[in-house]
């Protein structure tokens, strides 16, 4: 859906596989271009940049070799459904003796606005069934992940499965097309061992610009203000304090339970 057809000459790949980079999604044409499959799209963007092909069926996944961050990595798109992603991932982990810390997962996140990235070095599944299954089967949550914002449900009563298995609007697709251009750079930093730098650089990607700070008052205005009596409110008056909170929803598997 998002591919631009850019062709990059593949760098020679040799040596042992040092990392797994896994894009999460659901297999089959039925799910192409859906919010839940943005992990597949992100992996395709990385493969395209590296000049790699992800078309070899192995470990219950479509696989391909690539050079990322100067290291040989195995690119994976599990052919299981989302909530069974850990089967493919742990099979490859065991074969190549890859620890969780060297498994990078790309997936969707409905808690983030469209076009935002959230990079973490580990942590809970956040309600995402693909991450949950990887954590359960690997026995560890200490693997880095790049979560790609696909937007929250339009209202609380909207069916979660319908939302995550729905397709992007034209405007959102354009936003994500631009975001996918930075995925290869973010992945390379993480594979190079610079996850903190990746977080600092890309966790604010797509965020609205901060409003400018108000100008500092001049010395004369400060002196004038200091010489004036402070205004006092009437007894008993106060300002209400409000809280805003929202459910941190995360997409679900094809049957609609969770993400």
pLDDT digits (tens, 9 = 90+) for 187-218: 999 999 999 999 999 997 766 655 666 676 66
CA angle 78, 82, 31 (to 5 degrees): 85
Q: Which two tokens stand for residue 42?
A: 């992100």
Parallel, antiparallel, or unpaired for β 117-120 and 19-23?
unpaired
Residue that the structure tokens 């973490």 belong to: 120
Q: What is the pLDDT of residue 246?
A: 40
Q: What is the pLDDT of residue 64?
A: 95
Q: Establish whether 36 is a catalytic residue.
A: yes
Give the start-end residues of each E strand in the chain: 19-23, 56-58, 61-68, 71-78, 103-109, 117-120, 145-149
Report how far apart, in Å, the C-alpha atoms of 4 and of each of 1, 138, 178, 181, 204 are.
9, 35, 11, 10, 25
Digit-coded pLDDT (tens) for 95-149: 999 999 999 999 999 888 898 999 999 999 888 989 999 999 999 999 999 999 9
Report yes or no: 51 and 7 within 8 Å, Cβ to Cβ.
yes
Give the bridge partners for 63, in sequence order. Answer: 56, 76
Q: How far apart are CA 248 and CA 258, in angstroms?
A: 11
Please, what is the end-to-end C-alpha distance for the chain in angstroms? 21
All domains of the chain, ordered by start, with CATH? Answer: 19-202 (3.40.50.1470)
Question: In the chain, what percentage of residues exceed pLDDT 70?
Answer: 75
**pTM: predicted TM-score of the whole model, two decimal places:** 0.77
Q: What is the pLDDT of residue 213?
A: 65
Q: Which two tokens stand for residue 39?
A: 């992990």
b/e map 99-122, b = 16+ CB within 10 Å: ebebbbbbbbbbbbbbbbbbbbee
DSSP string, 115-181: T-EEEESS---TT-HHHHHHHHHHT-----EEEEE----SSTTS-HHHHHTSBPPHHHHHHHHHHHT
Considering the candidates 35, 36, 102, 145, report the single residue annotated as catalytic. 36
């Amino acid at each position: 859906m998002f591919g631009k057809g850019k062709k990059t000459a593949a760098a020679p790949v040799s040596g042992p596989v040092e990392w797994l980079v896994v894009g999460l999604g659901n297999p089959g044409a039925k799910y192409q271009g859906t919010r839940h499959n943005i992990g597949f799209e992100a992996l395709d963007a990385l493969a395209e940049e590296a000049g790699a092909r992800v078309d070899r069926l192995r470990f219950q996944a479509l696989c391909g070799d690539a050079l990322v961050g100067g290291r040989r990595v195995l690119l994976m798109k599990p052919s299981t459904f989302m909530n069974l992603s850990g089967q493919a991932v742990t099979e490859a982990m065991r074969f190549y003796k890859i620890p969780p810390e060297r498994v990078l997962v790309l997936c969707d996140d409905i808690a983030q606005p469209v076009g935002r990235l959230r990079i973490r070095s580990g942590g809970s599944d956040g309600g995402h069934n693909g991450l949950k299954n990887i954590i359960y089967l690997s026995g560890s949550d200490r693997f880095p992940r790049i979560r790609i914002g696909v937007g929250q449900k339009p209202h609380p009563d909207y069916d979660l499965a319908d939302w995550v298995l729905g397709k992007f609007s034209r405007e959102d697709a354009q936003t994500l097309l631009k975001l996918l251009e930075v995925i290869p750079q973010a992945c390379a930093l993480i594979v190079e061992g610079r996850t903190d730098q990746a977080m600092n650089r890309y966790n604010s990607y797509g965020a609205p610009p901060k409003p400018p700070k108000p100008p500092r008052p001049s010395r004369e205005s400060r002196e004038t203000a200091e010489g004036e009596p402070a205004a006092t409110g009437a007894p008993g008056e106060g300002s209400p304090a409000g809280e805003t909170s929202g459910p941190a929803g995360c997409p679900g598997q094809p049957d609609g339970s969770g993400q």
